[in-house]
Amino acid sequence: MKNKGLIASVAVILLFLGATFVYQLGMRSGTNQASETSEPVEKAEKTVGILQFVSHEALDAITEGIKEGLKESGYTEGDNLTIEFQNGQADQSKLATMSQQLLNKDADVLVGVATPAAQALANVTQDVPIVLGAVTDPVGANLVADMDQPGGNITGVSDKAPVAAQIKLAKDLLPEAKTVGILYSSTEDNSKYQVAEAEAAAEENGLTSKSYAVPSSNEIAQMVQVMAREVDFIYIPLDNTIANAMQTVVQEANKSKTPIITSVDTMVEQGGLATVGQDQFTIGVETGKMVAAILDGTAEPATTPIYTFSDGETIINETQAQLLGITIPENLKDEAKLITTTPESEASDE
C-alpha cells in the first residue's frame, strides 16, 4: 500500500513537471512568434528631434512621412519614441535657437526638413547624427563632402528633381513657347543648383531662359507680374519661399494666363499646370527609415550614401489646362496622372 502511494505521488509529480515543461515550451515558441510580429515594442526608447524650415504642403507631408517611416521600422511615437518637433517659420534666428534647443533635449538623431533647417542643425553639432529630409543638393549646401561617402555626422534623403523631364514636359504641353522664366528665392542654396540645371535643360530644348530671384516673399506678386510680360511660361524649382506663396503666384499668373511648370506634385495641386515630381510623403517615409537604421545602430551617417530618387510621376492639372486654353496631347493623357482643382483666380474674381 505504502509503495503504491509513493509510486502514485511520484507519478503525479512527474506528470506535473512534464506538463509544466510542455507548457513552458509552448510559451517560449509563443513569445518567439510574438517577437517576430510585434518587434517594434521591444526596441529601446529613443528621442528624435525634427526641425522643419517652414510650413508648406510639401514639407508638412514630408514630416508626416518621416513619422510613418519610423513607425514602419519599429519606432512609434508615444510608445518607444519621443519626437521633439520645431517649425522655424522661415526665420533664420528662430532656426538657430530651435536647433540649440533640440540639441539640448539629448536627441539620439536630429532631422532637418528642407535645406535651411538642415544647415541650422549642422551649425550646432558635429557629433549627434543628422538626417537630411528632402535636401535638394547636400554637397552644394555644404552639408556633406560626398553623396556616396558623406564623411561626417550627416546623411539623408535628397529630393533632387528630374529637371530635364520637367522642361521636356513643358515643351510637350506648350509647343509654341520660346522663353521660360525661372522664379526662385535668392536666399535658398537648394534653388541655386536647380536653377542652373533648368537653364541647361531649357537650352537643350531650344528655349531661352531668364531667371528671376526674389529676396523675400514680399516681392513675389510683383515679380510674377513682370514675368508675365516677359516670358511664355514660369518654371519653379524646389524652393520653399515660393512653395509657401504658391497661391499668390497662381493668382498673379492666371491673370495673364501664364502657365506654371513646377517641381513637385503639391504645387500642381495648388494651381500649377504640370510637373514630373516625386511624392512628398514617400520622400518622408524614406527619411524616417534612414533615421530608424541609425537609431538601431545598423547605419552610420559617415558611410551611409545619400538616398536619391531616379524618376517621378507626370502630373497635369486639367482645370488649369482648360483655363489656359491648353490641349493636353493624347499620349500625355495616357501616361500622366490628371487632377482637377478649383481655379484660384476665378474664385476670387467673382
Report the distance separating Cα 219 and Cα 234, nearest Å: 16
Pick the piece of the chain touching ligand TRP (CB under 6 A) from 11-19, 146-154, 234-242, 292-300. Answer: 234-242
Q: Contacts with ligand TRP in 253-272 (CB under 6 A)? A: 264
Q: What is the distance of C-alpha 324 from the center of its chain?
A: 30
Q: Using CB under 6 A, which of 111, 135, 321, 323 touches ligand TRP?
A: 135
Mark out the alpha helices in the chain (DSSP H runs): 2-37, 57-72, 92-104, 115-124, 163-173, 189-204, 220-230, 240-244, 246-255, 265-269, 280-296, 318-323, 330-335, 344-349
Question: 193 is written with which cell numbers?
Answer: 543648383
Instruction: Report residue 86: phi and psi, to 5°.
Output: -135, 140
For position 90 contacting ligand TRP by CB under 6 A, the verdict is no
> Between residues 58 and 98, which has the closer beta carbon with respect to ligand TRP?
58
For position 286 contacting ligand TRP by CB under 6 A, the verdict is no
Q: Using CB under 6 A, which of 83, 102, 110, 134 touches ligand TRP?
A: 134
Q: Using CB under 6 A, which of 51, 54, 58, 207 touches ligand TRP?
A: 58
Q: Using CB under 6 A, which of 109, 130, 195, 238 touches ligand TRP?
A: 238
> Between residues 166 and 190, which has the closer beta carbon with respect to ligand TRP?
190
Mark out the alpha helices in 174-279 (DSSP H runs): 189-204, 220-230, 240-244, 246-255, 265-269
Pick the piece of the chain touching ligand TRP (CB under 6 A) from 28-36, 131-139, 253-261, 338-346. Answer: 131-139
Relative to beta strand 274-277, strand 313-317 is antiparallel
> Between residues 135 and 324, which has the closer beta carbon with respect to ligand TRP?
135
Does residue 76 contact residue 325 with C-beta atoms inside 8 Å?
no
For position 240 contacting ligand TRP by CB under 6 A, the verdict is yes
- DSSP conformation class of 264: S
> Between residues 20 and 142, which has the closer beta carbon with respect to ligand TRP?
142
Minimum distance between the CB of residue 224 and ligand TRP, rounded to whole angstroms? 16
Minimum distance between the CB of residue 310 and ligand TRP, rounded to whole angstroms? 16
For position 234 contacting ligand TRP by CB under 6 A, the verdict is no
Q: Contacts with ligand TRP in 175-214 (CB under 6 A)? A: 190
> Between residues 81 and 163, which has the closer beta carbon with respect to ligand TRP?
163
For position 114 contacting ligand TRP by CB under 6 A, the verdict is yes
For position 241 contacting ligand TRP by CB under 6 A, the verdict is no
One symbol per residue from 69 to 88: x for binding ligand TRP (CB under 6 A), - otherwise; what is it?
--------------------
For position 157 contacting ligand TRP by CB under 6 A, the verdict is no
Question: 241 is written with which cell numbers?
Answer: 519661399
Question: 138 is written with which cell numbers?
Answer: 547636400
SS3 332: helix
Q: Using CB under 6 A, which of 115, 209, 211, 251 touches ligand TRP?
A: 115
Q: How many residues lie near ligand TRP (CB under 6 A)?
A: 14
> Between residues 136 and 314, which has the closer beta carbon with respect to ligand TRP?
136
Report the distance separating Cα 252 and Cα 150, nearest Å: 41
Does residue 138 contact residue 131 with C-beta atoms inside 8 Å?
no
Q: Which long-range contacts (CB under 8 A, 24 or more apart) does 241-244 make?
A: 241/90, 241/184, 241/185, 241/187, 241/188, 241/214, 241/216, 241/217, 242/183, 242/184, 242/185, 242/214, 243/56, 243/57, 243/58, 243/59, 243/267, 244/54, 244/55, 244/56, 244/90, 244/217
Minimum distance between the CB of residue 161 and ligand TRP, rounded to whole angstroms? 8
Which positions touch ligand TRP (CB under 6 A)?
A: 58, 114-115, 134-136, 159, 190, 238-240, 243, 264, 280
